[in-house]
Amino acid sequence: MILYGALVGTLLLVLSIDAGGEVVSLPKDQAIYGANEQWKKMQTRLLLNDRELVEILRGIGDTISIADLVQLEKAVQRLSALQVPFSDLLPQDALLIDAQHHSLLAENEYVRVMRAHLKVGETCPLHLHQWPSVYLILSGDKFITHHQDGTAVAEEWGPGVYELPADTELMGFTNCGTDDFEALCIELKKTLPNTK
């Protein structure tokens, strides 16, 4: 069971996990009414246990706003309705090719949740995200996308929620903006059972 409580006059919201008695601090803006429900809906929909949810919350730190959280939950709802046949992990997978810029936060039979990070001026190698996904971009906005045919395209993806299909080609990215790129990525590995 997850318990959330906002402490009046403090900067932190305390998240308490019954399993293991672990305590994690979250930013004050998470204390806004409704955040608790959004996190619980996503946890249930994605079949995540309490420990996995804690790892996700640690991975995003204090950078998510209530507006982003609401958008993220709606995008996760749409993602969870997709029909996705299971496929084995491909050797070009982002975590296998580029662990420097992708870190695993949680994974189960149905979903994988990662943190993506790319400092200003850094380039990540060509890789795939083989499953449909929802990205919550927390910071960063200007990139050069490198395609496997050698072409490169300047793009802007500002902070917000993005729903992306499975990659069909290898791509790499250079962060050419003024802020480090930080994102939460939720990938649907196969169709979720009905969790209603």
For the segment 87-124, what is each residue's pLDDT rounded down to a tens digit?
788 999 999 999 999 999 888 888 899 999 999 999 99
Question: What letter would DSSP give residue 31?
Answer: G
Which of 24-38, 62-76, 111-125 shows the highest mean pLDDT?
Answer: 111-125
Q: 94-188 has which CATH code? A: 2.60.120.10
Q: How far apart are CA 29 and CA 47, in angstroms?
A: 25
Answer yes or no: pTM beyond 0.85: no
Q: How far apart are CA 11 and CA 135, in angstroms?
A: 27
Q: How far apart are CA 157 and CA 36, in angstroms?
A: 28
pLDDT band at 84 (very low <50, low <70, confident <90, very high): confident
pLDDT at 35 over 70: no
CB 48 within 8 A of CB 56: yes
Q: How far apart are CA 156 and CA 65, in angstroms?
A: 21
pLDDT band at 177 (very low <50, low <70, confident <90, very high): very high
Query: For 51-78, what is the mean pLDDT?
Result: 72
Residue ranges of the domains in the chain? Answer: 2-65, 94-188
Which amino acid, 92? Q
pLDDT at 60 over 70: no
